[in-house]
C-alpha cells in the first residue's frame, strides 16, 4: 500500500517523485513571490494537463514550514483523481529561525510529532503551534535535507528523529541532496539508525552528473530521484539522458525515479510560465524512448515509485 492524502491505495500508476503543488506561506529564505503556489484552480489546470498524458500520482515534497496545505492537496486530489503522496519533515535546517522547535526539541519529541502526522493526520498549520488542526490527510513519507557538502546545523540530530519515525510507521525517507551532494553521508547516517538504503529516495541527485558516484549510491539500494528534465538552466536534458543510459547499462535502472520539481509560479503554464507538468511525459520520455531507454523510463515512472513509496511493516 502507498499512503496518499485520500487514503492508502494499492496502485499509483505513472508517478512523479518530486513535485510542489502548494506553498501557501512566505518562503523562509526570502520574500519571493515566485515561490508562492496558492491557487487551487491553477494546480487543477496543471494536473489536468498531465493527467491527459497519463500522469496518475505525484509526491508533493513541500515540508513543514513552507506553507504546505493538506486541505488544498485533498481538494486537488478530489477534483482531478490524482494520487497525492504528501510529506512531513523538513527542508534545510538553515531555512528555519533560531527559535524554531526543530533546533530545540529532543529527537524523540520530534519523532512523535512526525509519527502523528503519518498516523493521525497532518497539521493544517504545519506544526507552527501552539494549536494543531489535524487534517484527515496523512503524510506518506518523511523529508530531511542536507546543505551543500555538509549536513547543516542540527541535521544529524534530526536524522535520528526522522529514522525513528520512519521505522515506526513504515514510510520511506525522502531527501534534499543540495547540488547532488551528501548522498553517502545521508545513507550512512540513516543506516546507523536502522533505515536501509532501499527505504531512501535521494532527491536532486542528478544535479551531480558523476555516473560512478550515482551508481555507488544505487548499489546501496537507494532510489535516485532525477528532477532536472525541462529546467535547462541547470544543463541540457541530453546530460540526464546520458546519465540514465549509463546507469541502465550498469543494471541500475530499477533504482531510478523521475520528477520535475516545479516549485515556482514561473514554471507553470497555467500561471504564464513553463515547462509545466506535461514536459516530462511529452518531451523527455520520448527522447528516452528514441535512445532505446523506453523500458527504463516506464519502470522509473511506474514500478520503481510503486516500490519506493510502499508502506513497510513498522519496526
Distances (CA, A) of 90 to 57, 117, 144: 22, 13, 5
Give backbone dihedrals phi and psi of 177, rounded to 5 degrees, phi first: -100, 100
Per-residue pLDDT of the chain (315 residues; tens, 9 = 90+): 999 999 999 999 999 999 999 999 766 655 688 999 999 999 999 999 999 999 999 999 999 999 999 999 999 999 999 999 999 999 999 999 999 999 999 999 999 999 999 999 999 999 988 899 999 999 999 999 999 999 999 999 999 999 999 999 999 999 999 999 999 999 999 999 999 999 999 999 999 999 999 999 999 999 999 999 999 999 999 999 999 999 999 999 999 999 999 999 999 999 999 999 999 999 999 999 999 999 999 999 999 999 999 999 998
DSSP line for the chain: -EEETTEEES---EEEEEE---B-S--SSS--GGG-B--HHHHHHHHHHHHTTTEEEEEE---TTTT--HHHHHHHHHHH--EEEEEEE-S-GGGS-TTSGGGTS-HHHHHHHHHHHHHT--BTTTT-SS---B-S----EEEEEEBTTB--TTHHHHHHHHHHHHHHH-PPEEEEEGGG--HHHHHHHHHHTT--GGGEEEETGGGS--HHHHHHHHTTT-EEEE--TT-GGG--HHHHHHHHHHHHHTT-GGGEEE-----SGGG-GGGT-SS-TTHIIIIIHHHHHHTT-HHHHHHHHTHHHHHHTB-----
pLDDT given at position 27: 66
Nearest to 7 by CA among 77, 61, 89: 77
Cα-to-chain-centroid distance, residue 215 = 20
Task: Identify the sign of the CA torsion 300, 185, 122, 264.
Answer: negative
Instruction: Report the chain's C-alpha Rg in angstroms.
Output: 18
Answer whether 21's CB lies under 8 Å from 260's CB: no
Task: Identify the sign of the CA torsion 37, 27, 171, 280.
Answer: positive
pLDDT given at position 29: 59
Size of the chain, expressed as the number of residues it contains: 315
Q: Is the pTM of this model over 0.95?
A: yes
* Residue 273 in grid coordinates: 510560465
Burial class of 99 by CB neighbour count within 10 A (0 to 12, 13 to 18, 19+): exposed
Amino acid at each position: 500500500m502507498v499512503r496518499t492524502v485520500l487514503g492508502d491505495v494499492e496502485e499509483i500508476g505513472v508517478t512523479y517523485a518530486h513535485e510542489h503543488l502548494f506553498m501557501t506561506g512566505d518562503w523562509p529564505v526570502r520574500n519571493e513571490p515566485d515561490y508562492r503556489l496558492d491557487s487551487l484552480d491553477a494546480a487543477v489546470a496543471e494536473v489536468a494537463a498531465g493527467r491527459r498524458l497519463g500522469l496518475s500520482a505525484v509526491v508533493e515534497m513541500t515540508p513543514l514550514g513552507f506553507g504546505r496545505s493538506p486541505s488544498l492537496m485533498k481538494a486537488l486530489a478530489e477534483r482531478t483523481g490524482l494520487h497525492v503522496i504528501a510529506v512531513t519533515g523538513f527542508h534545510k535546517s538553515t531555512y528555519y529561525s533560531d527559535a524554531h522547535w526543530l533546533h530545540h526539541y529532543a529527537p524523540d519529541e520530534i519523532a512523535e510529532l512526525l509519527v502523528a502526522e503519518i498516523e493521525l493526520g497532518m497539521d493544517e498549520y504545519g506544526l507552527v503551534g501552539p494549536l494543531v488542526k489535524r487534517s484527515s490527510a496523512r503524510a506518506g513519507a518523511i523529508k530531511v535535507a542536507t546543505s551543500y557538502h555538509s549536513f547543516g546545523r542540527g541535521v544529524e540530530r534530526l536524522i535520528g528523529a526522522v529514522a525513528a519515525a520512519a521505522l515506526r510507521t513504515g514510510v520511506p525517507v525522502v531527501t534534499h541532496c543540495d547540488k547532488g551532494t551528501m548522498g553517502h553521508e545521508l545513507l550512512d547516517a540513516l543506516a546507523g539508525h536502522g533505515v536501509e538504503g532501499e527505504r531512501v529516495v535521494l532527491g536532486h541527485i542528478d544535479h551531480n552528473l558523476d555516473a560512478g558516484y550515482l551508481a555507488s549510491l544505487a548499489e546501496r539500494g537507494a532510489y535516485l530521484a532525477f528532477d532536472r528534465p525541462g529546467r535547462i538552466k541547470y544543463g541540457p536534458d541530453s546530460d540526464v539522458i546520458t546519465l540514465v543510459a549509463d546507469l541502465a547499462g550498469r543494471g541500475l535502472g530499477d533504482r531510478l525515479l523521475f520528477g520535475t520539481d516545479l516549485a515556482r509560479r514561473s514554471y507553470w503554464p497555467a500561471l504564464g510560465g513553463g515547462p509545466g507538468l506535461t514536459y516530462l511525459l511529452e518531451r523527455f520520455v520520448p527522447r528516452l524512448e528514441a535512445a532505446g531507454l523506453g523500458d527504463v523510463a516506464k519502470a522509473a515512472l511506474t514500478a520503481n515509485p510503486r516500490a519506493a513509496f510502499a508502506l513497510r511493516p513498522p519496526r
